[in-house]
Amino acid sequence: MCGTCGCAPEVTTVTVDLEVDLLAANDELAAANRRRFAEHGVLAVNLMSSPGSGKTTLLERTVRALAGEVPVAVLEGDQETPVDAERIRAAGARAVQINTGAGCHLDADMMARGVDALAPEPGSVLFVENVGNLVCPALFDLGEAARVVVMSVTEGADKPLKYPHMFRTADLVLINKVDLLPYVDFDVAHCLDAARRARPGVEAIEVSATRGDGMDAWYAWVRARRG
């Protein structure tokens, strides 16, 4: 109540768009990361997918294939455990594990702190294995030079229709586990058509990270991105 006349005071409502503010702050940090990578000639590649797509197996094979050709470092994002970073180190690359706890994605600040700890060599390739999630990671720029969405044929071919923003930001779609195609109901053409509705002309490579199918094309894509 107003102390002068007893009337109810006017209430002013202010709406703050927290998501916009949060993303704007993240984008500033991402821009700083991008400048840092450019200054040191580091190619940062953000790998995103749902859980179980085979990102870690893909990276293990990639690390071994590129050994002696280019320095490779990996930032591993998971809610808990150091398991994936340990696998990458065993494959021959330096790795830092970032555990997000209840968080469902990496952000630009986590990227910066991870890079501080990892200190990738000038001219190296830095792979980021993001937290398994087809929603939130697409929203957060890390300062990467390229985004790769990894799908497996054990998932539904309609994933690009259900999660269009993830595919809308992709530079490459990797369809993994093609060695299982004879045993699953997955229409590759339908999946690629859906992905290209979200991102017209997006590149795609069919691979098997376990058997090796298509992996040479993936390595060539990485080499071409290094310039």
pLDDT attached to residue 5: 53
Q: pTM of the predicted model, to two decimals? A: 0.89
For the stretch 194-223, pLDDT in tens is 999 999 999 999 999 999 999 999 999 999
pLDDT attached to residue 23: 85
pLDDT attached to residue 40: 97
Measured distance CA(169)–CA(144) in Å, rounded: 12
Domains of the chain: 42-226 (3.40.50.300)
Measured distance CA(94)–CA(135) in Å, rounded: 28
pLDDT attached to residue 17: 58
pLDDT attached to residue 10: 56
Strands 94-99 and 125-129: unpaired
Per-residue pLDDT band at 22 (split at 50, 70, 90): confident
Per-residue pLDDT band at 74 (split at 50, 70, 90): very high
pLDDT cut 70: percent of the chain above it: 91
Q: Quick one: three-class SS letters along 110-158?
A: HHHHHHHHHCCCCCCEEEEECCCCCCHHHHCCCCCCEEEEEEECCCCCC
Q: Contact at 8 Å (CB) between 167 and 149?
A: yes
Average of per-residue pLDDT across 185-201: 97
For the stretch 88-115, pLDDT in tens is 999 999 999 999 988 899 999 999 999 9
Predicted confidence (pLDDT) at residue 3 exceeds the cutoff of 60:
no
State the residue for tokens 């369809």. 175
Tell me how many degrees the CA angle 136-185-153 measures, rounded to the nearest 5: 40
Say how many CA atoms lie within 13 Å of 85 toward its Cβ: 18
pLDDT attached to residue 12: 54
Write down the mean pLDDT value for the chain.
Answer: 92
pLDDT attached to residue 103: 86
Which residues lie closer than 8 Å to 92 by C-beta, 6 or more apart? 63, 64, 67
pLDDT attached to residue 227: 77
State the residue for tokens 């985004």. 147
Q: Of the candidates 47, 30, 46, 183, which has an alpha carbon nearest to the alpha carbon of residue 108? A: 30
Least confident of 15-24, 93-102, 150-159: 15-24
- Distance spanning both ends of the chain, measured CA to CA: 69
Average of per-residue pLDDT across 147-172: 96
For the stretch 120-142, pLDDT in tens is 999 999 999 999 999 999 999 99
Average of per-residue pLDDT across 41-53: 97
